[in-house]
Structure 1
Amino acid sequence: MPLNTEIETAEGWLRGRQYREFLSWRGIPFAKPPMGQLRFRAPQPVTPWAGARDALRWGFAPPQMKLATMQGVGKYQAMSEDCLTLNVLAPAEPSSKPRPVMFYIHGGGYLLGSSATLVYGGQSLVERGDVVYVSLNYRLGALGYLDFSQFSSHQRQFDSNLGLRDQIAALEWVQRNIAAFGGDPENVTIFGESAGGNSVVTLLSTPSAKGLFHQAIAQSANAGVCYGKERADKWARIFTDHLGADSEHAVEALEDTSVHKLGKAGLEFMRDALQADPGTLGYAPVVDGDLLPLAPLDAFAAGTTHKVPLIIGTNDREAALFTRFGDDGMPLSVDSINKMFANTQPELLAHMIGGYSRYPDKRALEDICGDAMFWKPSIDCAAGHSAVAPTYSYRYDYSTRLLDVLGMGATHATELIPVFGLADTTFGKAFTTLGGQRGMRGVSHRMQSHWLGFARDGKPMSTWPQYNPHDRLTMIFKDHDKVVKDPRPHRRLAWEGFRGYR
């Protein structure tokens, strides 16, 4: 039977809409609004509703800088702490069997982002792959990724890893409800980029997420972004200092401060945290001994990640984007490199730097930064996970003339254009104004074929072999894709001995 736009979920009826060949439901709550006494608490179950609830518009964006919520010229998405919503997009055409589910987690450094961003629409994936696409909002910044549990008492509890808990709650919603939308709860692929990629490797390392997904794709995951309680507690105190509250008054300040003032304090906190610890994000998951017993890099090394197939990879020139547009958290100078590796044995640091022949010029600093924050952690994850489940490694090298002229090449996040099939959209065409649209269409077709095949069958197309730490076969996406054995071995060997740098 064809899907109807009115769907009954475990929490109540939802009213969506049809446009073109798609059925869409937006702004679906998967947890109670985390406001008032629920601020800084784990997500709580939604209160069921009577009648059909409209699911026609995007939910609120998580509180963040207004500029990051832009949806057009002079148009911004409204923000609120009441942001725990998700969206479902499905083919209007009926299917005789449940469809694979692709569950996307947006990036933005755990500080920015929204599922309503046009890039993440998912229409091309749904159309090409006959899948059900789900995207979500989760708490960001101090509301989602600072750990204030040191201030907990019998009267007031503060939970850790709130953004991660939000993602788990959304995946639990999928298990309860996605069959009503034509999706297969036994075939869910999580995928994400940047902080979303880091979320994927963190979910793979979170025991309570077991069984909630069946494949995983981590794009440009900075898998080292997960910190211990000592650093988390220090950062929480720095943040409350910026609220003007000592430890005795921290609870009152965290409960009563407006979202606007929390955001202002968060920017001041980020400045201090990044100056003190170059290469960190400031906002990140925490090894709390409860929800997350091991940092992802340690879980991958120990072989304790969930035994599901994994695609993981990075882009050729990850850090070039941050050189161009600025990011104080990126160690893009000799001083910040030295500070980031201050606790490293000098001979180990010298060996690593020796892998970059042009050090200390700008390109070498970019390469070191990109490798430290994205590539090295990703190949460590690939090596560890390949011992427990099928693993596939890639590097995205495709660039357009415009990106080359700008000095960025295949930099951070540029693979989103082909993955989401955006080559022929206004956004995608902006990257090919100096040529390259035909090549972009080609790489998009091939990447989507791999991503969709993986979501359907648990493996990409047959041209992409599995990764292992012996031959390190890696798919290179370019004008003409190729599989390379151990790409950039000299740089990989330069990093031997490093188990993270934090």
Structure 2
Amino acid sequence: MNAVSQPVAHTAAGAVRGEVDPRTGVRTWRGVPFGASTAITGRFRAPQPVDPWKGELDATRFGAPAMQGTFGLRGTVLGSEDCLNLDIVRPDTDDVLPVVVCLHGGTFVTGASHDKVLQGHHLTKATDIVYVSVNFRLGVLGYLDVRSLGDDCVANPAIHDQILALAWIKDNIAAFGGDPEQVTIMGESAGGAAVMHLMCAPGARGLFHRAIAQSPPPASVHSRIQATMWVRALTSRVGLPSTATLDDLRAMPAEDLVRAGQSMMINSKELLQFNTSFMPTIDSATLAEHPIDTFNQGKQAPVPMIVGTNSDEASFAKALYQTAGQRLRAARRALDVFDPDNAGDVIEAYGDVGQRGDFAALMGDAVFWAPTVIVATAHRMVAPTYMYRFAYASAAMRMLGLGAMHAADLVAVYGDPYATKAAKFDRFGSKETFEKVSELMQHHWGTFFHTGAPGEDWPVYGFRRDDRPGRATAVFDTGMHVEHDPKAEHRTAWESFDMREWGVNRVDFWD
């Protein structure tokens, strides 16, 4: 590999020719295949390695993302079942560098390796890494366990795809100047959950050495009976009888399955009770038990981890209901479906959840912060753990009442303030404070990529001792400061709440 305008790297399957990006000056290889097509006979099955090719593969264009709906009125479907490809970015040097593997978010149903905010050019240059962003199956094709229709499938195709990608990286990343013994997996939202799933998956053990989970929903896991419920809903929506088989689903156009899956999400009221159509399912191969149980038992990968959430994850929930009574009833329904015995104590800890702000705080904590604290508390027993809270929000976002909403941390970590849809609200504001926060986060993330620990002024999420308090949390706002055991009253209330089994009080679910 030479520092030329069209760098060539030699993988086990063949040569790939990339380019030096004329705008950012980094080397890029796009759409590099790591797995064979998952269409037709590959649908719902474990992925297979990519077949070798002859000559140089043109890797200057992004590959197809996973097939997914657009949630528009026309029912447009994007992507392909031939989606197992990845993008690689690195500085235009020949240095051997640590590797960072990005798993995109998108509620397990949307997203791509080349989402604008995740392309990684600025982050790569700021932290001196080899950056890899991965495509994997989504939604009905990646995150729905169809074993209730037959045994010739795997419960979690997406997790299998991610493990295959990590194995490919281990075998091939040296050709791009990456160090296969210094691999950090990193993701936000559903991508952050994917990081935790891989920490639990036996097949991923040894394929990575550090982990960063930003705003993960660790409790977002289907039980097998829950998955069966959604499979029945899917077959009904596509017009198949109750006796439908895997062969019937494989015979259908993938676009029809994706549209039906999108319809299930849009038209079902289950989302308001944290029962989304598509999530990984507990199985014997990838997730032997609920991730929270795996972490509590210390069975996860014992690697250093950065984990955290944003201050206003669910600020959009302020607009969901018109009255205080509706919000209070909605909060109770959402928590009762997990643990009706302890739901009241959690609600009481948040004060008046009939008020919009308290209701939104409860909903955001239920999905993101509370289970993340549980996981961090357990992980600190087996490996260094670093907790953070992202609290920075521009004047415009604060004025709109959105604050540091879900995904707001991405632009700071990736160093591109205009890369998300929310950025249009900030185009006319000052960028000085944002640049300071972004520089701080890239410093700590970059130090972690290289050493397995953030900067020295960010202490571990440790235990209380006579000489110091515990649960140190780095707070990124207009700068960075450390708080110890923030929101302790809320944390204590959640400690008795069991969020591992959805539907315990749903009679219709168990019938």
Give the TM-score, by structure 1 length: 0.92
Distance 1:259 1:355 in 2: 46
Find the counterpart in structure 2 of residue 73 from structure 1.
none
Mapping of residues 5-404 of structure 1, within 5 Å = 5-20=7-22, 21-66=25-70, 79-95=79-95, 98-153=96-151, 157-271=152-266, 274-275=269-270, 278-321=273-316, 323=318, 333-343=327-337, 348-404=342-398
Q: Residue 27 of structure 1 aligns to which amino acid in structure 2?
A: G
Alignment of structure 1 residues 447-462 onto 2, 5 Å: 447-462=441-456
1:418 maps to 2:412:
yes
CA distance in 2, matches of 1:357, 1:28: 51
**1:321 and 1:412 in contact (8 A); partners too:** no
CA contact (8 A) 2:98 2:130 kept: yes
| Separation in 2, partners of 1:259, 1:295 | 29
Contact 1:402 1:433 survives alignment (8 Å)? no
Cα deviations by residue, 1:327-362 (Å, 9 ceiling, x for unpaired): 9xxxx9333322222356656222111111232111
Does structure 1 conserve the Cα–Cα contact (< 8 Å) formed by 2:332 and 2:344? no
**Which residue of 425, 429, 436 corresponds with 1:435?**
429
Q: 1:343/1:82 Cα in 2 relative to 1: closer, same or farther (>3 Å)? A: closer
Deviation, 1:118, is 1.0
C-alpha displacement at 1:420, in angstroms?
A: 0.3
Instruction: Give the CA deviation at 1:99.
Output: 0.3
Q: CA deviation at 1:82?
A: 1.1
Shift in alpha-carbon separation, 1:178–1:142, aligned structure 2, 3 A: same
Q: For the residues of structure 2 that align with 1:431 and 1:276, how far apart are their CA atoms?
A: 28
- Cα–Cα, structure 1 residues 442 and 424, in superposed 2: closer, same or farther, change >3 Å? farther
Q: Matches of 1:117 and 1:345 in 2, distance apart? A: 37
Q: CA RMSD in A?
A: 2.2
Task: Give the deviation of 1:249 after TM superposition.
Answer: 2.6
For 1:276 and 1:339, locate their aligned partners in 2 and report how far apart those are by CA, in whole Å.
12
CA apart distance, 1:427 = 7.1
Equivalent-residue separation in structure 1 for 2:340 and 2:111 (angstroms): 38
- After superposition, the C-alpha distances for 1:141-160 in whole angstroms (9 at most, x for unaligned) are 1000001112225xxx1211
Deviation at 1:312, TM superposition (A): 0.3
In 2, Cα distance between the equivalents of 1:363 and 1:223?
A: 23
Letter in 1 for 2:102: Y
Q: Distance in 2 between matches of 1:195 and 1:275?
A: 18
Alignment length (residue pairs)? 485
Structure 1 residues 226-263: Cα deviation after superposition (integer angstroms, max 9, x where no partner): 12211112221221121211242333431122122112
Q: TM-score, normalised by structure 2?
A: 0.90
**Structure 2 counterpart of 1:445:** 439
- Asked whether the 8 Å contact 1:100–1:456 carries over to 2, the reply is yes
SS in 2 for 1:455: helix
Q: CA deviation at 1:66?
A: 3.4
- Cα separation, 2, equivalents of 1:58 and 1:319: 32
Letter in 1 for 2:80: S
CA deviation map 1:413-456 (0-9, x unaligned): 00001100013779786343453411100000000000110000
Q: Which piece of structure 1 moves more, 429-438 or 113-122?
A: 429-438
Q: Is the 8 A contact 2:238 2:260 kept in 1?
A: yes
- Change over 3 Å in CA distance of 1:289–1:355 after alignment to 2: same
Quick check: 2:140–2:278 contact (8 Å CA) kept in 1? yes
Worse-superposed segment, 157-166 or 388-397: 157-166
- Which shows bigger deviation, 76-85 or 179-188? 76-85
Which stretch of the first structure deviates more once superposed, 267-276 or 407-416? 267-276
In 2: Cα distance, 1:436 partner to 1:413 partner: 20
My pick for the range that moved more, 340-349 or 422-431, is 422-431
**Structure 2: which 5+ residue stretches go unaligned?**
465-469, 503-511
CA gap 1:430/1:268 in 2 versus in 1, 3 angstroms: closer
Q: Mean Cα displacement is larger for which, 17-26 or 450-459?
A: 17-26
Q: What amino acid does structure 1 have at the position aligned with 2:426? A: T
Is 1:401–1:436's contact at 8 Å kept on the other side of the alignment? no
Contact 2:338/2:499 (<8 A) preserved: no
Q: Name which of structure 1's ranges 136-145 and 58-67 shifts more when overlaid on structure 2.
A: 58-67
- What CA distance in whole angstroms lies between the structure 2 residues aligned with 1:352 and 1:399? 27
Q: Compared with structure 1, are the counterparts of its residues 310 and 259 closer, same or farther at alpha carbon in structure 2 (3 Å cutoff)?
A: same
TM-aligned CA deviation for residue 208 of structure 1:
1.1
**Are the structure 2 counterparts of residues 132 and 462 from structure 1 closer, same or farther at C-alpha, using a change threshold of 3 Å?**
same
Once residues 151 and 293 of structure 1 are traced to their aligned partners in structure 2, the CA distance between those partners, rounded to angstroms, is 20
Structure 1 counterpart of 2:226, one-letter code:
R
Contact between 1:205 and 1:295, CA under 8 Å: does it hold in 2?
no
One-letter amino acid of the counterpart of residue 423, structure 1 = P
